[in-house]
Amino acid sequence: MLTALGIRNVVLIDKLDLTFEEGLCVLTGETGAGKSILLDALGLALGERADTGLLRHDGGDAVVTATFEVAPDHPAAVLAAEHGIGAEDSLILRRTLNAAGRTRAFINDQSVSVGFLRKVGGFLIEIQGQFAQQGLLDHANHLPLLDAYGRLGDQAARLGTAFRAWRDAGAALSEARSETEQARQDEEYLRHALAELDQFGPEPDEDAALSVERQRLMQAGHLVDALDVARRDVAGRNPVSESLRSALRRLERVAEAAQGLFDPLITALDRALDGAESALDALNSASQAIEIDDARLNTVEERLFALRDLARKHRVDTTALPEFRQQMRDKLARIDDQSDALAALEAKVADCRRAYVSHAEALSKARAKAAKALDAAVGIELPPLKLENAVFVTRIERLGEDHWTSSGIDRVRFAASTNPGTPAGPIDRVASGGELSRFMLAIKVVLTATDAPPSLVFDEIDSGVGGATAYAVGERLRRLAGRLQVLVVTHSPQVAARGVVHLRVHKSDSGGQVVTGIDRLTASEQQEEVARMLSGAAVTKEARAAARRLIEGAPQ
């Protein structure tokens, strides 16, 4: 609810700080005292259109701050949190306006756009003058209001789920049809490409294997030449093995005379001789293993270059050719299997549509029942508000399938007739200004239990009525205020008498300048103000007695 309102440099208001409580708060004052300025200032804080006409002629920037008490799970608090604005138990909406007409908006001292400020404010308070834009006169709100009144939220949620399932199934079918059509257009190319790939038969990592083999074949001649030179070095005119064998025999002949001194040398020469002979054998084996195969080299190069050409043709890497080949197979398989696949998707779409229609039909019947109850409930509220000849009607129209949505197959419109025999039409076109305000009050009284922001503001809702009708307006405002905070600007003593909090707006002279001020009235001051409203400038004893009876709850 609204707990505080601070106003600086707005028209006749220099500095004003107000606090508010739960229940019904009434604002009274003589014509021209500045009651509308208060609502204009509140509208500024809620993100409404700014006008430099709101600035005091000799002041600085206009600043309006509205403080609201909110629970953490309140939609306004949740929305603020989603934008990184913390709100433990309150939201402070602030707006500034300078002489150039530029404004700045803040929520809890964090800069925000005016549009976001307006969106958050819409969850916190509703001003009766704003109904046409965001309230009961906006046709888009009628269906959710009816669902809220009939407590059809769970049914509506299930319908939304069914609609999304139907929509998703339809999207999947459309995509499959599009892919199939595209595939059919590409079928000749696909079959040619797959035939070419099948004939070639690319293998995984084939490029790398061919490259390695090609390098080996290209280097075969060089390798054989190197082996021949090495073999000549080992087994040429003076073979290493013969030299080692000669040295070994020479030492063996004198070994006995050396008395063991040559034994290590003989062992070493023997090992060296074995190694030389093994090396020669290895050289011979390696030379025989390496063949210069020009035919194989040509085959490998042709395969490798063809593989790379094929990859470039299809704009893929050589390593991706096997996978690309499988993709071609899959696309052609989808073409061949398209009838079965599309039939399955079409069946799913049909099933989802039937489920949606079933939910929508059930919800439509429930809405029709709720509409009758809503019409009856609003009808009960109209006669005491001097609208005894008026009729409120909730119209439910069946939509064509092209217009079905997640909200269902219905279009809901609130309509009214104010004269017997006159067809019901849109409330804002049928009702006059005073009638419209009372229609809004009657509907709000009925709907508030299921849908309403925590605070409502009514501006002169009692215009054009008096006596018992004005008293009925006051009673309904008081009843409404039992469920939420209600602020009402009024000229009616019958309405003013019902206020739990009474604020009186007045003008005064301050330093040669006219300024607007607001006083919070005590119980006795409230009685005096109601008496003034009953009798005029000269308050009589009879007026005071009548005021006391009004405050005590007796109709006049």
The distance in angstroms from the start CA to the end CA of the chain is 32
502 - beta bridge partners? 26
CA 354 vs. chain centroid, Å, equals: 29
Half-sphere exposure of 253 (CA within 13 A, CB side): 5
27 - beta bridge partners? 489, 503
Q: 10 Å Cβ neighbour count for 479?
A: 15
Does the pLDDT of residue 471 top 90, yes or no? no
28 - beta bridge partners? 504
Mean pLDDT across 373-400: 91
Residue 358's pLDDT is 97
- At 132-161, the pLDDT tens digits run 444 667 788 899 889 989 999 999 999 999
- At 86-126, the pLDDT tens digits run 877 889 999 999 888 899 999 999 999 999 999 999 888 88
Alpha carbon distance 24, 9 (integer Å)? 27
Does the pLDDT of residue 258 top 80, yes or no? no
Alpha carbon distance 501, 516 (integer Å)? 19
CA 139 vs. chain centroid, Å, equals: 23
Q: 10 Å Cβ neighbour count for 322?
A: 16
Alpha carbon distance 241, 247 (integer Å)? 10
Alpha carbon distance 178, 190 (integer Å)? 17
Does the pLDDT of residue 131 top 60, yes or no? no
CA 63 vs. chain centroid, Å, equals: 32
Is 529:496 a contact under the CB 8 Å cutoff?
Answer: yes
- At 511-529, the pLDDT tens digits run 667 778 888 999 999 999 8
Angle at which helices 321-381 and 153-185 pack, to 10 degrees? 150
- The highest-confidence range among 113-122, 230-239, 267-276, 545-554, by mean pLDDT, is 113-122
Q: What is the pTM of this model?
A: 0.61
Of the pLDDT bands very low, low, confident and very high (cuts 50, 70, 90), residue 211 is confident
Exposed e or buried b per residue across 447-466, where buried means at least 16 C-beta atoms within 10 angstroms of its C-beta: bbeeebbbbbbbbbbbeebe
Alpha carbon distance 528, 1 (integer Å)? 28
Tokens of 434: 């005073």
Residue 509's pLDDT is 72
Tokens of 196: 């070419």
Residue 32's pLDDT is 67
Is 478:24 a contact under the CB 8 Å cutoff?
Answer: yes
Does the pLDDT of residue 406 top 90, yes or no? yes
Alpha carbon distance 483, 486 (integer Å)? 9
Does the pLDDT of residue 338 top 80, yes or no? no
More confident residue, 279 or 25: 25
What is the rounded average pLDDT for all residues in the chain? 84
- The highest-confidence range among 54-63, 89-98, 219-228, 247-256, by mean pLDDT, is 89-98
Q: In one letter, which amino acid is 137?
A: L
- At 358-382, the pLDDT tens digits run 999 999 999 999 999 999 999 998 9
Q: Which domains are present in the chain?
A: 2-150+382-520 (3.40.50.300), 188-331 (no CATH)
Mean pLDDT across 185-199: 85
Cα Rg for the chain, rounded, in angstroms?
A: 47
Strand order across the beta sheet in which 13-19 lies: 13-19, 2-10, 62-69, 90-97, 103-107, 110-112
Cβ contacts of 152 within 8 Å, gap of 6 or more? 146, 363, 366, 367, 370
